[in-house]
Chains A and B, each alone.
Chain A
Amino acid sequence: MVRFKHRYLLCEVVSDDPRCRLSLEDRVLGGLVRDTIARVHGTFGAAACSIGFAVRYLNAYTGIVLLRCRKEFYRLVWSALPFITYLENRGHHYPCFLNTLHVGGTIRTCQKFLIQYNRRQLLILLQNCTDEGEREAIQKSVTRSCLLEESSAGEELSDSGGEETAEAME
């Protein structure tokens, strides 16, 4: 197929400051990464990476960030990521760093990886949990996510069918 090939970097924003998460937005993060690339790789790097660069997905609750860049220059982006040490928003500096979890060729593979990763995290959490109540809550969410996996396959078609009809009615 003739298309622009991309690389997707699945990263995790790690910060001790909860306000950091509060100010976690795609525009802020995108600007931050761009600035860092310019600082690390100079004008050439900034120009090379600015084509096709985007923040595809961001979850402030979990801190997951999906960055997109062109395949030719993803190494420049990748290598610049460790140099991010703080998040700047409205004059405030929140110390944080980015932890790259996965580098994929499509969003889909990243999503798949993310599912695996989150599940593993939950299990770890469950193992390490000592409090009874919390343990129960975690258990519940784990089972829910697992159940969702099964039900979603069934749901999906009826769901899409419903949407289709809704679209047709428009």
Chain B
Amino acid sequence: MSNAKERKHAKKMRNQPTNVTLSSGFVADSGVKYHNGGRKPFQSQKEPHSGTSRQWQTKMSHHSLAESDAKEQSSSRVTFKKKGGWKAGPEGTSQEIPKYITASTFAQARAAEISAMLKAVAQKSSNSLVFQTLPRHMRRRAMSHNVKRLPRRLQEIAQKEAEKAVHQKKEHSKNKCHKARRCHINRMLEFNRRQKKNKWLETHIWHAKRFHMVKRWGYCLGERPTVKSHRACYRAMTSRCLLQDLSYYCCLELKGKEEEILKALSPMCSIDTGLTFAAVHCLSGKHQGSLMLYRANKYPREMLGPVTFIWKAERTPGDTSESRHLWIWLHPSLKQDILEEIKAVCQCVEPTKSTVCLPDPLLTPSQEKSRTDLPTEKIGKKRKWKDDEENAKPIKKVIGDGTRDPLQPYSWISPTTGIVISDLTMEMNRFRLIGPLAHSILTEALKAASVHTEGEDTEKTPHCWWIEACRNPDSVSLHHRQETIFELLGGITSPAEIPAGTILGLTVGDPRINLPQKRSKVLPNPEKCQDNEKVRQLLLEGVPVECSHSFLWNQDICKSVTENKIPDQDLNRKRSELLVPGSQLFLGPHESKVPILLIQQPGKVTGDDQRGWGSGWDVLLPKGWGMAFWIPFIYRGARVGGLKETVVHSQYKRSPNVPGDFPDCPAGILFAEEQAKNLLEKYKRRPPAKRPNYVKLGTLAPFCCPWEQLTRDWESRVQAQDESSAASSPGGEESSLRRDVVPCAPMPGRTRQLSDDEGTPLNDSSEPKGVMDTDGPARPGTEGVVGQGATGSLLCVLRSRKLLRQLSAWCGPSSGNSRAAARAPGTGQQELRREACLSILDRFPKALVWVRLSLLRKGSPEPHTMICVPAEEDLLQLSQDRLYCGPQEPKHSDPFKSQIRKQKEKKKLEKRQKRGCAASEGLAEGDPAAGQQPLTLGLWSGPLPVVTSHCSRVLLGFVTQGDFSMAVGCGEALGFVSLTGLLDMLSSQPGVERGLVLLRPPASLQYRFARIVIEV
């Protein structure tokens, strides 16, 4: 009988009387001291729940015991007279005739039996409820609900049962009724309480109703819609419009003199990776720039993360002494590191209290927490009148950062350079519209603010900043120019046509005013496209610099706009008071004017096909206006995506996703750790038989990518190869040079000799090869410096554009003229190329390269798929048979299985021992069990062996994003490969098949062919 069944049976029988035999009584009575100690454990083991019957038995034996003592007789001969015996007479026919008999024992036995039977009869013994024991004809409807429907004798029991059932239910801490909880003021309180730990975006409630929410980076963010939408979101990105709330992106503002800022920030970025903060068209404020930040002077190691930045357009171009504003937008996971580093390079240490973003310092913390929500204050006050007047603090909606510690500074000033850094996180909303319909939606939803004319009544409107601005004819004309350009945007079919990073400032009216009645889908208006002359000019020249001006840069105006927002409630009331229902609402000068900033986001900028895919516009709004813009966008047919759509977007753009695809920056490492933990947890949730055994599949690290070890293994591998080749090959000179060069990176001696070389930019690797030759001996030293500075162990990702371009040229199958170029000079070219490889390797000893892999035939890669070097016979087979799918990995053996089994047996043994022995031994046994780390079946435990040569094909790298690509129609993956390995592979592969690799998902044995492409 199974344990549960046994227990159930015991429960059923617990009230039933057990058999009482004299022999058991005899045992009990034969020794008094034996009575309690010896018998009970035996019985309790046999029947743990027969408490009452046991009591009865012991009682019985007690009686008989007392009796036997009194009578000085063996208890076995306790006389029990039956009815018949009683009637027949006392003597009976026993051999040992008792001297006298008593009726009391007889009576006691009867009485005990009565009580036992009573117990059995009176108590229900089954698991059923009371009313279930009633016969059919006595049952009534809703008996379990209403106790009074039961027969009166059962009512009491049923009552107790019902109470017990209530207790078993989870208790709600509802101190208020539903209606009270839904009341506005209480909801506000509750919402404010709930966003204390994790920040909420302004669109949180909207998202929470439609999205799976996750807590990430200190925010509550929508991860993916609850509806099925993977394909729909892709289609929206490609042909319609996808809307995302990126308000969680952090903004750092740097204020100061231009040259001071540039001087301070220049060590953090390298010209090698692209443009810097000083790029001309960015510096003017015309375009948004994007770059990679590194720790100061640590390039190419110690990456901090990618950022985008915009300079505020200067009023008087050319005047460099003017104070400039710079906004750096970055992902929240990178914020901590970058902020610290920027503070360090700008020498900004003193927290300032006087900046605009910090409100009145006299406010108490509780007031300050809700400092930003003056617009809702009116409602709060109104409610306050009604509810309780003594409540001093009106409850306000938290707008902006609800978690920010009021005492923590978020603005710092540098005493030497005068640069002020302020953290503008959550001070602005950032919405991203992706897709070709972004223009139509923007032009449809937003209408430029009407210029204020003198004739209107000015005293009442709260928007005095706009009236001020309208008095200045310059700004009015600027506004009109911005308006015409914005109108022109509607005629452009795709945001990709506009120059990348274009900034357009604008002041718009309240978008809620012209909200359509129903949700609709905008279509590009062909009539607007007729103005070809102007459109062409716009496309050619871009938005003029002065048009990028926006009042959004002015914190005071932003604050006033946030404070003077008309609540939805008032707007709706006014709408309901319209004479003709449904007609356009006209607020006149009371209508809010909102300064916004439109930034064009370039889509796919790398590669040859589909350039400009996924481009769109970012809309920056002052805080508090999030929902007012959000709903109008959606009503124009924008589809909303979450974090998952961000990943998909970056995947189709073939750009690395922040922070997952930055294995060399701290946020990326943290992200990978978290991801590995989650995946491991998910893996462990399945039973061992229902999950892949990764040890048998030869997958060493299915949940994380051991970049560190991969690069290290490749380094030692190449070194070993070189040594062997040097020993064997007669062409010793070149290889000996190589042998010298490769291990020199960690060598300390070379660092000094080339300090003069350090100043030269590191980008000369792609210079003409002749130069390279002469430069050869000097190179290693330079790289020694770099390697040394980074302590030689940190890996880096190759981001030098020139090197990447060179690599991408090498990766492709050398065909046509390039192959001819490679072949024609014969060995000379080949040698040169090796030389170049070596120089690259020296500069980036442990580097990874971001590559795109497109599968040749079948197969859809997934994250953590292994990228392997094909063996020669694979390529041979492929060239013979075009349909060849790929080789198979032979099954590995699982050396841990026996260990696990042993452990299990040991545990079982311990358990048995524990059960048998006393608890004191359990302490001693607990130690070895705790000391051994628990092995998981199917996972490699302990330190990983050499990762590159664990499988039959040499491991080159890992895929970080991979899926079936709906754009190309075959599997596509993005990932990193070891630079050392890549160069080694390329040099060994023949020209036609160059760039072919094998992909193997972690849970499969099948390799698939893919082509490596490096896109710059």
B-contacting residues of A (Cβ < 8 Å)?
Answer: 12-19, 21-26, 55, 57-64, 95, 99, 107-108, 111-112, 114-115, 118-119, 121-122, 125, 129, 131, 133-134, 137-138, 141-142, 144-145, 148-149, 152-153, 156-157, 159-161, 163-164, 167
A-contacting residues of B (Cβ < 8 Å)?
Answer: 7, 11, 14, 16-23, 25-26, 49, 51-52, 60, 76-80, 82-86, 88, 92-94, 102-104, 106-115, 117-123, 156-157, 160, 164
Contact B114 A148 (CB under 8 A): yes
Contact B80 A152 (CB under 8 A): no
- Contact of A141 (CB < 8 Å), options: B18, B22, B107: B107
A38 to B83, CA, bound (A): 29
Contact A114 B77 (CB under 8 A): no
Contact B106 A125 (CB under 8 A): yes
User: Which residue, of A57, A95, A131, has the highest number of chain B Cβ atoms within 10 A?
Assistant: A57
- Contact of A64 (CB < 8 Å), options: B113, B160, B164: B113
Q: A78 → chain B, closest Cβ, in Å?
A: 20
Q: Please list the 7 inter-chain residue pairs (A to B) with the smallest Cβ-Cβ separation, ordered nearest first.
A: A137-B104, A141-B111, A61-B109, A145-B111, A148-B115, A14-B84, A16-B93
Contact A142 B107 (CB under 8 A): yes
Contact B85 A141 (CB under 8 A): no
Residues on A with beta carbons closer than 8 Å to the beta carbon of B20: 58-61
Shortest Cβ distance from A28 into B: residue:
B21
Shortest Cβ distance from B78 into A: residue:
A18
Contact B23 A22 (CB under 8 A): yes
- Contact of A134 (CB < 8 Å), options: B52, B78, B104: B104
A26 to B23, CA, bound (A): 12
Contact A18 B103 (CB under 8 A): no
A119 to B11, CA, bound (A): 29
Residues on B with beta carbons closer than 8 Å to the beta carbon of A160: 123
Residues on B with beta carbons closer than 8 Å to the beta carbon of A111: 117, 120-121
Contact B21 A60 (CB under 8 A): yes
Counted as pairs of residues, one from A and one from B, with CB atoms less than 8 Å apart, the total is: 167
Contact A59 B121 (CB under 8 A): no
Q: B326 → chain A, closest Cβ, in Å?
A: 64
Chain A interface secondary structure, helix, strand, loop or mixed? helix
Shortest Cβ distance from A13 into B: residue:
B82
- Contact of B85 (CB < 8 Å), options: A14, A115, A159: A14
- Contact of B114 (CB < 8 Å), options: A95, A99, A119, A161: A119
User: Which residue, of A17, A114, A119, A167, has the highest number of chain B Cβ atoms within 10 A?
Assistant: A114
A115 to B16, CA, bound (A): 14
Residues on B with beta carbons closer than 8 Å to the beta carbon of A55: 19
Contact B93 A63 (CB under 8 A): no
Residues on A with beta carbons closer than 8 Å to the beta carbon of B49: 163, 167
Q: B406 → chain A, closest Cβ, in Å?
A: 48
Contact A145 B114 (CB under 8 A): yes
Q: A141-B110, A152-B122 are in contact. Are A59 and B19 (CB under 8 A)?
A: yes
Contact B19 A58 (CB under 8 A): yes
A sample of 5 inter-chain contacts (CB < 8 A) reads A14-B82, A62-B82, A144-B115, A148-B118, A159-B52
A12 to B92, CA, bound (A): 17
Contact B85 A57 (CB under 8 A): no
User: Which residue, of B102, B103, B107, B122, has the highest number of chain A Cβ atoms within 10 A?
Assistant: B107
A23 to B164, CA, bound (A): 45
Residues on B with beta carbons closer than 8 Å to the beta carbon of A62: 80, 82, 109-110, 113
Residues on B with beta carbons closer than 8 Å to the beta carbon of A108: 120-121
Contact B80 A118 (CB under 8 A): no
Q: A21-B22, A118-B113, A121-B83 are in contact. Are A156 and B119 (CB under 8 A)?
A: yes
Shortest Cβ distance from A164 into B: residue:
B164
User: Which residue, of B20, B76, B103, has the highest number of chain A Cβ atoms within 10 A?
Assistant: B103
Contact A142 B94 (CB under 8 A): no
A52 to B341, CA, bound (A): 86
Residues on A with beta carbons closer than 8 Å to the beta carbon of B110: 62, 118, 121-122, 125, 141, 145
Contact B92 A17 (CB under 8 A): yes
Contact A152 B26 (CB under 8 A): no
Contact A114 B113 (CB under 8 A): yes
Q: A68 → chain B, closest Cβ, in Å?
A: 13
Residues on A with beta carbons closer than 8 Å to the beta carbon of B115: 144-145, 148-149, 152
- Contact of B103 (CB < 8 Å), options: A15, A22, A138, A159: A138
Q: A124 → chain B, closest Cβ, in Å?
A: 8
Contact B119 A152 (CB under 8 A): yes
Residues on A with beta carbons closer than 8 Å to the beta carbon of B51: 159, 163
Residues on B with beta carbons closer than 8 Å to the beta carbon of A156: 119, 122-123
Q: B23 → chain A, closest Cβ, in Å?
A: 7
Contact B82 A58 (CB under 8 A): no
